[in-house]
Amino acid sequence: MTIQITTTSSRDRDALLYLLTVDQWQRRVTLKDGRRCYGIPSRTRLGLLHLTDGSACTCEDWTTRQPEGGCSHKRATVLHRMQRAAAEAKAAKTAKRSTYAALFGPDDDKPHCQRCNRHHDVGAHYPARVA
């Protein structure tokens, strides 16, 4: 998904400001119809939460004008979800694979090889000598 943010749009600027306060949002708000949404505190009316699920919002801007691209609360919600999805994708991409020791336990009975940085029998890199 691509979203375009401009500095000339007051709704985009407000969305970025709301995104900075994501820790103050009410999460897991469930409406009577079962939809889950965020409760974003109003910046102009103390104690008021604007409920949005990214497709609709309870704010006056959305209910009266329905601007193209949505109100600042909807835009902030979309940006937050995109930011969270990107962070999850990055975490999944950089997750370390399980090591042998993590899967099967440490191999302490064998010495640590300075050559290959593994634990194995002494002389594993050299062929056996025939006497």
Q: What is the pLDDT of residues 5-18, one digit of tens each?
A: 888 889 999 999 99
* Angle between the N-to-C axes of helices 72-94 and 10-20, in degrees from 0 to 180, rounded to the nearest 10: 50
Count structural domains, the chain.
1
- Kindly state whether residue 86 falls inside one of the protein's structural domains: yes
Mean pLDDT of the chain: 82
- Kindly state whether residue 103 falls inside one of the protein's structural domains: no
Average pLDDT (67-89) is: 90
Q: What is the pLDDT of residue 130?
A: 60
- Kindly state whether residue 65 falls inside one of the protein's structural domains: yes
Long-range contacts from 29-38, C-beta under 8 angstroms, 24+ separation:
38/77, 38/80
- Kindly state whether residue 99 falls inside one of the protein's structural domains: no
Average pLDDT (67-81) is: 91
- Kindly state whether residue 24 falls inside one of the protein's structural domains: yes
- For the residues of 35-46, what is the DSSP string, one character each? -EEEEEEPSSST
Q: What is the pLDDT of residue 125?
A: 66
Q: What is the pLDDT of residue 17?
A: 92
User: What residues make up the domain containing 49?
Assistant: 10-94
